[in-house]
Each structure stands twice: as structure tokens, then as C-alpha cells.
């Protein structure tokens, strides 16, 4: 039995409580909570917000499917600060993740999803990845010029692993899992890279996988086959459709080319009983209509 949830990141024009109510009305059993503005950004999500949130969950008879700690528009954008930014901004990502872990414990969420290391285009040749995070005090004309050079992916992986190790310790203390979400164009974007990363994770019980069906389809993998390959790591699923071009644009299920029946069959094969969260953030103009169309389509094939 597939348990469908919907992410509040499509409901940014609604309050968190109203988002939950609308999602529950449509029949979804779960709701993924955006840990960013305008919903549950931890520094702004105080005890009175938590009390109201819990009351709304109970009255709506809906469960938390996941905490979405991926974006950081409160202090950056979709990807930044990232796990592989300069030291100061990387620490901001780590601190945000720790705060989301603390929030998860308070509200009873089992896990949160995060970015897989950030974008990996070009990196400035500088001391930004050194142990010091202090900015230069020299005037601009005296500061060393930064040259663009190809990324040292192995070095970036080490940096990412270091950050994950720091948060995994907190995650274990609070019994909350941190789920890496591979995405096209980021440090970890496919199943091969993810499996390689997991061989180096020090605490694999608390660093797991948020399996985004559309993302794996975008990088020319068969999501149904990858479900079987990565079954030992999966804690939660994201779902959105993707066009046959495999360009990373989230579409309402049924409007793209993904064979969801085969993916659901694979979930049955691995005896997955958790939530599958529909993530349709591009539909913020009409999230209720998008959520309803997705629900109706998926219920017909589940």
C-alpha cells in the first residue's frame, strides 16, 4: 500500500496551517514540511508555531512524511548555502541542518531531506576551502585574484562527508535520519555516485536516501531498477513527473513520461511501506488544483 503525501513547498502563498488543511482535504495521508520561509524555518518557528502546527496536524488527521531541509531561501536560494560552499557558508548549511534535526525531534518527524552537496560547475582557485573562514581585510586591489579551474570532485566529496559526519552525530543523538537527495547537476546526481558515497559514510544508519523518482529519470536511469539497487538505503520517496526530454522540470504526474506503475511495483518488491511525497513546487499559482490532479492520477494506478 503506497501512502501518498504532498509537500508544502508548492503552498508558499499559504500559511503552513492552511497548507496542511488543504492537503488533508484532498485525501493525502501525509504532508512534507518545508523547513524554509515562509513555513517552518527553524529560527522563526517558535514554540507557539509548533503548538499550532501540532494542533492542525491532529485536527486534519494527517502525518508528517518528511521535513524538507533542501532549500534555504531564508538566507540564500535553492542550493546555497551548500555543503561545498566556502567555510562560512558551509557552516551555515550545517547549522541549518542541525536546527532542522532539533525541530524534527520536537515535532515527531523521523527524517529530513537535504541537498547532495550543491552545484558543481567551477570553483574559484582560492583559500575558500581551507581551514580558515575569516574574510580578507586587504583592500580589493591587494587581494589575490581568483582563477576559475575545474573542480576537484574528490576533494568536494571529502568536504561533504566532513559536514555529514558533523550532523550525523546530532542525528543519532536525536534519533532523526538525514536523507541525501541526489539531483542532476549537483555533487551526487546518480545511483553510482550515491553508492560510492555511502561506502564512506561513518554513520550509515542515520545518513540515508531520499529517493527522488524524477531526479533519477533525469540522469538517464530507470527509477524502477534503481529502487531495487538502492533498496538498502531508501527511507522516503519524492515524486514528480518529467517530460520525455528528461529536462529537470517538475510536472504533475501523468503529464510526463515516467512509468510510475513500474516504480510502484518495485516499491512493492522491496516491501516499502513509507510515504511517497508528491513535490510540485512549480505550481505555486494553483497548488490545490495541482495536488488534486496528482492525487487522482496516482490513486488510479496505485
pLDDT digits (tens, 9 = 90+) for 121-150: 744 433 334 333 333 333 333 333 334 445
CA–CA dist 165, 210 (Å, integer): 18
CA–CA dist 239, 259 (Å, integer): 12
Residue 20 has a pLDDT of 98
pLDDT digits (tens, 9 = 90+) for 280-300: 999 999 999 999 999 999 999
Residue 120 has a pLDDT of 87
* Average confidence (pLDDT) per 10 residues, the chain, 302 residues: 94 98 98 98 98 98 98 98 97 98 98 96 42 37 41 91 97 98 97 98 96 98 98 98 98 98 98 97 98 97 88
CA–CA dist 136, 290 (Å, integer): 48
Grid cell for residue 44:
522563526
Residue 178 has a pLDDT of 98
pLDDT digits (tens, 9 = 90+) for 100-125: 999 999 999 999 999 999 998 744 43
| Prior bond of 243 cis (ω within 30°) | no
Amino acid at each position: 500500500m503506497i501512502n501518498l503525501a504532498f509537500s508544502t513547498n508548492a503552498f508558499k502563498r499559504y500559511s503552513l496551517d492552511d497548507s496542511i488543511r488543504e492537503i488533508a482535504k484532498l485525501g493525502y495521508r501525509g504532508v512534507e514540511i518545508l523547513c524554509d520561509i515562509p513555513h517552518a524555518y527553524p529560527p522563526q518557528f517558535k514554540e507557539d508555531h509548533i503548538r499550532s502546527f501540532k494542533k492542525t496536524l491532529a485536527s486534519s488527521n494527517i502525518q508528517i512524511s518528511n521535513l524538507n531541509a533542501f532549500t534555504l531561501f531564508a538566507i540564500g536560494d535553492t542550493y546555497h548555502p551548500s555543503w561545498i560552499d566556502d567555510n562560512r557558508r558551509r557552516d551555515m548549511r550545517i547549522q541549518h541542518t542541525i536546527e532542522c534535526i532539533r525541530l524534527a525531534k520536537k515535532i515527531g518527524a523521523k527524517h529530513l531531506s537535504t541537498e547532495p552537496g550543491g552545484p558543481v560547475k567551477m570553483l574559484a582557485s582560492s583559500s575558500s576551502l581551507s581551514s580558515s573562514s575569516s574574510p580578507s581585510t586587504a583592500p580589493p586591489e591587494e587581494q589575490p585574484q581568483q582563477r576559475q579551474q575545474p573542480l576537484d570532485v574528490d576533494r568536494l566529496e571529502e568536504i561533504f562527508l566532513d559536514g555529514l559526519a558533523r550532523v550525523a552525530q546530532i542525528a543519532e543523538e536525536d534519533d532523526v535520519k538525514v536523507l541525501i537527495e541526489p539531483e542532476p547537476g549537483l555533487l551526487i546526481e546518480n545511483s553510482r555516485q550515491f553508492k560510492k558515497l555511502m561506502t564512506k559514510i561513518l554513520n550509515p544508519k542515520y545518513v540515508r536516501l531520499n529517493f527522488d523518482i524524477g531526479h533519477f529519470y533525469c540522469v538517464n536511469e530507470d527509477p524502477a531498477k534503481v529502487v531495487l539497487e538502492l533498496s538498502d538505503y531508501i527511507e522516503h520517496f519524492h515524486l514528480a513527473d518529467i517530460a520525455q526530454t528528461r529536462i529537470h522540470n517538475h510536472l504533475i504526474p501523468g503529464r510526463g513520461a515516467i512509468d510510475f506503475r513500474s516504480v510502484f511495483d518495485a516499491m512493492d518488491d522491496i516491501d516499502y511501506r513509507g510515504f511517497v511525497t508528491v513535490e510540485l513546487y512549480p505550481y505555486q499559482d494553483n497548488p490545490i488544483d495541482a495536488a488534486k490532479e496528482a492525487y487522482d492520477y496516482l490513486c488510479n494506478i496505485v
